[in-house]
Amino acid sequence: MKRKLVSGMLIATMLLSMTACGGNADNKKGSDGDTAAAVDADSLEPVTLTMYFHGSNVTDDSAVMEKVNEYLKDKINVTLKPIWGTWGDFDQNSVLALQGGDDVDIYFTCSWSADEYNKFARDGYWVRLDDPDNNLIEQYGQDLWGQLPEVLTNGATINGSDGYGVYAVPGYKDIATQNCWDVNMTRMEELGYTDDDLQHLDYFSDEFAEMLKKGKEAGGEDFYPLLVEGAVLERMVTNSIIVVGDSPTGNFMSYYIDPNDVSKTSSYGDKILNKFATDEFKKFAEKTYEYYQAGYIDPSMANANQANEVRSSKQLTGDYLIGTQSYALGYELQASQERGIKVKMVPCTDPYVDTTSSQGAMMAISTSSKNPERAMMFLNLLNTDPTLMTLLNYGVEGVHYNLTDDGLVKFTEKRNDYQPWTNGVGNVTILPATEAQGAGFWDTFKDYYGNAKEVPCLGYSYDPTNCETQMGSCANVVAEYMLPLCTGAVNPDEKIPEFLKKLEDAGVNDVLDDANAQLESFMAEKNN
C-alpha cells in the first residue's frame, strides 16, 4: 500500500516558478484567483484527479464542476472528479476505497471520522507532504503554507509512516475549541436575571444551583433546566481534553489544562491520566448526581440512543435554561435566530487549539495516487485561489447565488441542489462573506481564531497498536459507565469504585503507561 515518492521521478516541466516562503500571510494571497506561484498549464500533461469528500446534497454538481474544470484546466491542466459522500455513508465508503487501493487521489480526513488522520498516516495511506526526499509543500504548496495559522501547521505535524512530519493540509476553518454555557437568556430574563449575572457561571456555586432551582420551579415538573451533553459537560467543567480523536474508545484518557492559561497544563503536569480516577471527576460526578436528583437533568440524557435527538430538539425549541456548547464564531446570533429566543454564550475558558480541533477538517493525498504532485498543486489553489474556493463551496454565480451591492453572497433556491460541506475544505477566509455573516466577518474570524492558544500537547495522538486488546476492553467498560455518571443518572459513590476496578482489570494502566511513553517521545521531538 505504501509508496515512497522519489524526487528524481519528477517531471522537469512541472517545476514551479516560486517565490520565497515566509512573511505576512496577506502578502501570499493574490487577486482574482492569482497565486504567488505561476504554473505554465500548457506544459503539463492533462490529469484527472479524484477527490473523496462530504456533501449533503449535490444533485447539481455537474453545472458546478463544468465551471470548476474549465478553470482548473487553465490553471494546472487538471480535471477534478469529486466523489460526494453523505454523513451516513462517507466513513464506510472512503475507508473501503482506501483499503482497496482505489484510484482516488485526495481524501477528506480528520480527527473524528473513520479515516482518522493519525491512524491512517501511521498505516501508510497518506503521502508525507514535507518528505525530505520530495517536499511537496515546498515545491507545489508554498503559497498555502504561508496562509495558514501556525497552530494549524503545528497540529498537522504528527508521527506517521515516514517519520515526524505533515501528512495532510489542514482546513482553515473554526479551528479553536471554546466550551461555553449555552444560556436561554429569554427564560433567564423572565426569572429576573441580566447579562451581568452571567459573567462567570461556576458549576459548583450556590448561584448556579439557585438558577437551576428557579428555572425548575417556573418551568414545572416536565421541564429540565440543565441540558447536558454527556462527556462534553465533564470536559468543560474539569478542563480536560481528549487525546484519542473524538471517539468513545479512548475517552478514559485525559490531559488537563489550566483554565486561566490554556497554553499551560494544570497541576497534574504533562501526564495523561485515567480521568475517572481523578478528584476532579469525582467532584463533578457528585454535583451532577445532585442536580439529577433535584430534577434538573432529563433522564433521557443517560440513554445513548436518545440523548442527541432529545438534546437537539430541546435546543431548537428553547426547552432548557442552561446547556453546553462548543462555541464557534457567530454561533450566538445563529442560535438565537434558529431557536426564536435570545441565546447567550458564556465561555468557560479562552479559545484554545488542541489536536482534535486543529485536525477537524483536512485534505490528504493518497499513497495510491498516480499524480501526487498535481494533487498538491490543486490543494495549493484550493487554499489560495478565491475563484476556485467560491465555485466549489457556493456554486455558480447567477445560478446558486448572487452578489449584493456590498459584495455579500445571497443564495438562490438553486442552492438547495448544491450543498457541499462548506466548513470542511480549503481556506474559508478567502471566500466572500454571506449575507448572514455580514461585511468584515472574515477579519473578525481571523482575529478571534488568531488569538487562540495552542495546548502544550498539540499534535499528539495516541497510537494504540501496542495495547489494542486493552483498549477494546476499556472501551467496553467505558460504554457501560461513562454516560450514566456524566449525566448524574447513577450514584458516583457506588459506581465509581466499581467502574475503576473494571477498568483496572481491563488493562487501563498498561494503556496509560504506553500513552505517556509516546507523549514523552512526542514532546521531545516537538521541542527539539
Residue 14 has pLDDT above 50, yes or no: no
Q: What is the mean pLDDT of residues 479-500?
A: 96
Of the given ranges (114-123, 282-291, 359-368), which has the lowest mean pLDDT?
A: 114-123
Res 423: pLDDT: 66
Res 95: pLDDT: 77
What are the structural domains, with CATH classification, of the chain? 7-27+41-172+357-454 (3.40.190.10)
**Which of the pair, 242 or 184, is modelled with greater confidence?**
184
Q: What is the mean pLDDT of residues 225-249?
A: 80
Percent of the chain with pLDDT over 70: 89
Res 352: pLDDT: 92
**Lookup result for grid cell 457506588:** 494
Residue 57 has pLDDT above 60, yes or no: yes
d(CA 55, CA 169): 19
User: What is the pLDDT of the chain when averaged over all its residues?
Assistant: 86
Residue 515 has pLDDT above 50, yes or no: yes
> Helices 386-394 and 372-384, interaxial angle, to 10°?
90
Most confident range, picked from 252-256, 296-300, 445-449: 296-300
Per-residue confidence band for 101, with pLDDT thresholds at 50, 70 and 90 = confident
Res 342: pLDDT: 96
Which one, of 179, 204, 201, lies nearest residue 350 by Cα?
A: 179
**Residues 176-198 pLDDT 10s:** 888 899 999 999 999 999 999 99
Of the given ranges (5-14, 158-167, 183-192), which has the lowest mean pLDDT?
A: 5-14
Rounded to an integer, what is the distance from CA 252 to the centroid of its chain?
Answer: 20
Residue 28 has pLDDT above 70, yes or no: no
d(CA 252, CA 246): 12
Its sign, for the CA torsion 435, 179, 422, 384, is: positive
d(CA 246, CA 306): 19
Res 32: pLDDT: 42
d(CA 334, CA 339): 9
Residue 245 has pLDDT above 80, yes or no: no
Which one, of 247, 253, 270, 232, lies nearest residue 457 by Cα?
A: 270
Q: What is the mean pLDDT of residues 159-186?
A: 92
Of the given ranges (53-62, 136-145, 214-223, 513-522), which has the lowest mean pLDDT?
A: 53-62
Which one, of 28, 4, 11, 12, lies nearest residue 141 by Cα?
A: 28
Res 527: pLDDT: 81
Res 106: pLDDT: 94
Q: What is the mean pLDDT of residues 368-381?
A: 96
DSSP string, 201-253: --TTSHHHHHHHHHHHHHH-TT--SEE--HHHHHHHHHTEEESBTB-GGGTTE
Per-residue confidence band for 247, with pLDDT thresholds at 50, 70 and 90 = low
Of the given ranges (86-95, 268-277, 348-357, 430-439), which has the lowest mean pLDDT?
A: 86-95
CB of 383 closer than 8 Å to CB of 172:
yes
Q: What is the mean pLDDT of residues 153-179?
A: 91
**Which of the pair, 6 or 382, is modelled with greater confidence?**
382
**Residues 66-76 pLDDT 10s:** 999 999 999 99
Res 56: pLDDT: 63
Residue 275 has pLDDT above 90, yes or no: yes
**Which of the pair, 292 or 153, is modelled with greater confidence?**
292
Res 115: pLDDT: 66
Residue 27 has pLDDT above 50, yes or no: no
